[in-house]
Amino acid sequence: MSQKKGTNFVQLEGELMWPEFKATGTGKLFCKFKVAIPFELKDGNVVKHYVKCAAWEAVAEALQDVEQGTWLKVTGRVNERSYDGKCRHCHSEEKKYWTEVVIDNFVTGA
């Protein structure tokens, strides 16, 4: 029996929020940020869902020229990372997980 292959493709449209630029130990530029996606509830109120995103090297460089609050259309893939951290309640060591969308392309004003 052959195993089915999945597709890991994400497309989001929303506002660029809280971009934070850093360099890795090897000098690679990295940007973590959120995309705020507004949607309307049944009662007419509009709320925003914030999706964690990351961009590397050339994409992160291009994001340096984009102001917070700018409308973006981004494409990428879902990625999960882990690290060793401490429990916020009992302070014992535990594995922490971080799920984000790794951006491979974006356009502004979409």
Q: In terms of pLDDT, which residue wins out, 32 or 98?
A: 32
End-to-end CA distance of the chain: 43
Average pLDDT over every residue of 7-11: 95
Q: In terms of pLDDT, which residue wins out, 30 or 98?
A: 30
The two three-digit tokens of residue 101, written as one number: 């969308």
Residue 79 is assigned to a structural domain of this protein: yes
Q: Which domain holds residue 47?
A: 10-108
Number of domains in the chain: 1
The model's pLDDT over 36-83, given as tens digits with 9 standing for 90+, comes to 999 999 999 999 999 999 999 999 999 999 999 999 999 999 999 888
Question: What letter does residue 90 receive in the DSSP assignment?
Answer: T
Quick one: how many helices (H) and strands (E) in the chain? 1, 5
pLDDT on residue 62: 96
pLDDT on residue 71: 97
Residue 19 is assigned to a structural domain of this protein: yes
pLDDT on residue 107: 96
Can you tell me the distance from the alpha carbon of 39 to that of 54, in angstroms, rounded to the nearest whole number? 22
What residues contact residue 8 under an 8 Å CB cut-off, 6+ apart?
77, 78
Residue 29 is assigned to a structural domain of this protein: yes
**CA within 13 Å, CB half, 68:** 9
pLDDT on residue 43: 95
Q: What's the CATH code of the domain at 80? A: 2.40.50.140
Taking a C-beta distance cutoff of 8 angstroms, is the pair 101, 76 a contact?
yes
